[in-house]
Amino acid sequence: MMSILSVLLYLGLSLDQRTHVKAGTLPKPTLWAEPGRVILYGSSVTLWCQGSLKAQEYRLYADGSLQHLETQKSLESGDRAKFLITGKYAERYTCNYLSHTGSSEHSDPLQLVVTGPYSKPSLSALPSPVLPSGGNVILQCVSVEAFDRFLLTKEGDHMLFSTLDSQPQPNGGSQALFPVGPVTSGHRWTFRCYGNFEKNPQEWSDPSDPLNLLVSGAKEYRLNQGTIIAPRYKEKPLQPGNKAKFSITYMTEHDAGIYHCYYCNPTGWSERSDPLELVVTGSFSKPSLSALPSPLVSSGRNVTLQCRSGQGFGRFLLTKEKEHRLSWALDSQQLPSGQFLALFPVGPVIPSHRWMFRCYNCYRDMPYVCSHPSNALELLVPGEFGKPSLLTQLGPIMGYGQSLTLQCHSDANYDRFALHKEVRRDLLQSLVLQPQVWLSQTHFRLGTVSSSHGGRYRCYGGYKLSSEWSAPSDPLDILVAGWLSDRPSLSVQPGPRVASGENVTLLCQSQSQRDTFLLSKEGSADTPLRLRSDHQAQQYQAEFSMSPVTSAHGGTYRCYSSRSSSAFLLSVPSEPLELLVSESSGGTSPPPTEPTSTAGAVLDPKDRQAEEGRQMDSQAAAPDAPQDVTYAQLNLLALRRQTSALPSSPSEEPPEEPCVYAALAIH
């Protein structure tokens, strides 16, 4: 809504400081803030410096410093410049300007006040918010915080209404009692209160919810739309006489716009209410909303939200959950592809608030007629709470047509979980069900597996009232088989039946050019071993060595091929190969090892860029090197991940994702 608190005075400072005081030949400029000097913690504010038409450059100073903070050229109007301030709030600013004849004096100081570091107090009227004309009332501001002082503001006035020292409460909280009156009709009596501490007087709590004092005796209420003088609706007051209800039974484009209401009583007409914007949505298809570079944002950092659509109507609107106003409006930009977008800067992001957004595509000449809303996008601030676990019950390799479900769970009492896939610009998330008070979990159901499901996933636990989340779970890689059409062959040397203690090599080969091969064991939830391919005799291959084998190596194996450019998308699996290991008669066998290879081993499909260009040739040993070769034995058994399910299937095809190769030690 447009009735945001945009003009407040703190410690006797007047907001409207647009009085030019001449000093020498150049008049003093005026400095003011939009939307106001009282700013929500984490939001941005525009400072305007208005001087002379002769001004060429404007400078902004903070906290009495002689060194200017920022410079701006004059805007087209010539007599002003604007400065966007982000992050440095609760400071005192001045500005001046330069012309060809010299520099002006500094403007009067402008003190910004920041709200939001502390939770909001509650405001109530004693005995009642409804009172007769000329009556008095006590406004009670109460908080669970032990504030030193409370501040009461009245909407529509250019000054702080009242300030009182707090009264401590037995529960450790605080309160203040503000006498107000006499209250008369014809004026609006809307109040909010704030708390602060003496050590940081320019940092206020979140504002209380607004409290309206209502003067009884209204005879009629009227509702106006836009600038039309004639009222659109007239209604008699409802009991006890301090309100009326106006119903629009079927919203159309003609009902969109700005509304005001007012009332009359025996003494005359009241002021108009603050404007209320009614936006009609659903006129056309929804845009998409994403976060750049990612919806995972470190505390105190900024992020850019991109609203995008294939339809161009001239403007995009971005709204933030629980704020009953259109937060941002930007004209759209057209891309060479024909798409339209707008980029909204947001931040700094802090965990004490939830950061849930939607965007709309709207007509520029009809700003209150918009599309369906985009899907909700929430920014996630990773924290240090205990990390949850993420797992899939079917193993990390999935085939086309299978149903993919991931489970995120924790022994902490999180009441919601979020799932994030690397490279995605939004979150896949779901509210959690808690079947047991000591265990919380949720299932993310991705639906039928396609190529878009391949990738690296992490999940987070959190609480509904905060955007701060837990530390991320260990990563879970989902590999999609069947994306590449080739079917590699898998063979074993010396054969499928071996005795414990022998050396065994599994050879995976393909006639198609492939960068890597993977070996998986049936029934294992462990990450498949991934090795770089070697080109020999017009074949691409990798040798997986087990030396010496034990009974633990017995089982059914399959291998896959893949490209490094799409490391999570695999070929059709090879035919299964069963390895039978019999106990040797020589006694106890050594502990089992993971397969090794004379080719390079891909340790992580996401880190290839850091290792690109390294030589992986196992034949690189010098000619005079010893003939014995010792293979590095890679233990790639991952901790078994505990995980289970997703809400919806991502629609986009996966981007190319890198993998990393590491050379094995050759002696």
Domain ranges of the chain: 22-115, 122-215, 220-278, 288-378
| Predicted pLDDT at 89 | 61
More confident residue, 92 or 613: 92
More confident residue, 186 or 251: 251
Ramachandran angles phi, psi of 453, nearest 5°? -80, -20
As a CATH number, domain 122-215 is 2.60.40.10
Ramachandran angles phi, psi of 658, nearest 5°? -80, 165
Q: What integer best gives the mean pLDDT of the chain?
A: 78
Is residue 151 very low, low, confident or very high in pLDDT (cuts 50, 70, 90)?
Answer: very high
Say which residues have a Cβ less than 8 Å from residue 587's Cβ, sequence separation at least 6. Answer: none
Q: Is the pLDDT of residue 642 over 70?
A: no
Ramachandran angles phi, psi of 609, nearest 5°? -60, -35
H-helix or E-strand spanning residue 610:
helix 608-611
Is residue 326 very low, low, confident or very high in pLDDT (cuts 50, 70, 90)?
Answer: low
Tell me whether the omega of the peptide bond preceding residue 626 falls within 30 degrees of 0, making it cis.
no
Q: Is the pLDDT of residue 106 over 80?
A: yes
The SS3 assignment for 608 reads: helix
Out of 157-166, 397-406, 494-503, which region has the weakest mean confidence (pLDDT)? 157-166
How many Cβ atoms sit within 10 Å of the Cβ of residue 628? 6
Q: Is the pLDDT of residue 85 over 90?
A: no
Q: Is the pLDDT of residue 16 over 50?
A: no
Q: Which residues pair with 641 in a beta bridge?
A: none
Architecture per CATH, domain 220-278, reads as Sandwich (2.60)
The amino acid sitting at 609 is: Q
More confident residue, 586 or 450: 450
Quick: pLDDT tens for 39-77.
877 677 889 999 888 888 999 998 877 888 888 888 876
| Predicted pLDDT at 465 | 64
Domain range 22-115, CATH class? mainly beta
| Predicted pLDDT at 55 | 87
How many Cβ atoms sit within 10 Å of the Cβ of residue 288? 19
Q: What is the percent of the chain where pLDDT is above 90?
A: 30
Out of 1-10, 297-306, 503-512, 532-541, which region has the weakest mean confidence (pLDDT)? 1-10
| Predicted pLDDT at 532 | 92
Q: Do domains 220-278 and 288-378 have the same CATH topology?
A: yes
Quick one: which of 574, 461, 464 has its CA closest to 517? 574
pTM of the model: 0.51
| Predicted pLDDT at 87 | 55
More confident residue, 440 or 513: 513
Say which residues have a Cβ less than 8 Å from residue 493's Cβ, sequence separation at least 6. Answer: 504, 505, 507
Q: Which fold has domain 288-378?
A: Immunoglobulin-like (2.60.40)
Average pLDDT score over residue span 391-402: 88
Quick: pLDDT tens for 561-589.
999 888 899 999 999 999 999 987 655 54
How far is residue 613 CA from its own chain's centroid? 36
Taking the C-alpha atoms of residue 560 and residue 488, their distance in angstroms, rounded to an integer, is: 6
Contact 168, 146 (CB under 8 A): yes
| Predicted pLDDT at 538 | 83
Average pLDDT score over residue span 100-115: 88
Q: Is the pLDDT of residue 478 over 80?
A: yes
Out of 91-100, 367-376, 391-400, 627-636, which region has the weakest mean confidence (pLDDT)? 627-636
Is residue 428 very low, low, confident or very high in pLDDT (cuts 50, 70, 90)?
Answer: low
Is residue 88 very low, low, confident or very high in pLDDT (cuts 50, 70, 90)?
Answer: low
| Predicted pLDDT at 271 | 81
Is residue 325 very low, low, confident or very high in pLDDT (cuts 50, 70, 90)?
Answer: low
Taking the C-alpha atoms of residue 110 and residue 37, their distance in angstroms, rounded to an integer, is: 8
More confident residue, 154 or 664: 154
How many Cβ atoms sit within 10 Å of the Cβ of residue 615? 8
If phi > 0 it is left, if psi is from -120 to 50 it is alpha, else beta; for residue 282 that is: left
| Predicted pLDDT at 650 | 35
More confident residue, 111 or 352: 111
Quick: pLDDT tens for 586-610.
555 455 555 544 444 444 554 443 3
Residue 550 carries which DSSP code? Answer: -
Contact 129, 138 (CB under 8 A): no
Q: What is the percent of the chain where pLDDT is above 70?
A: 77
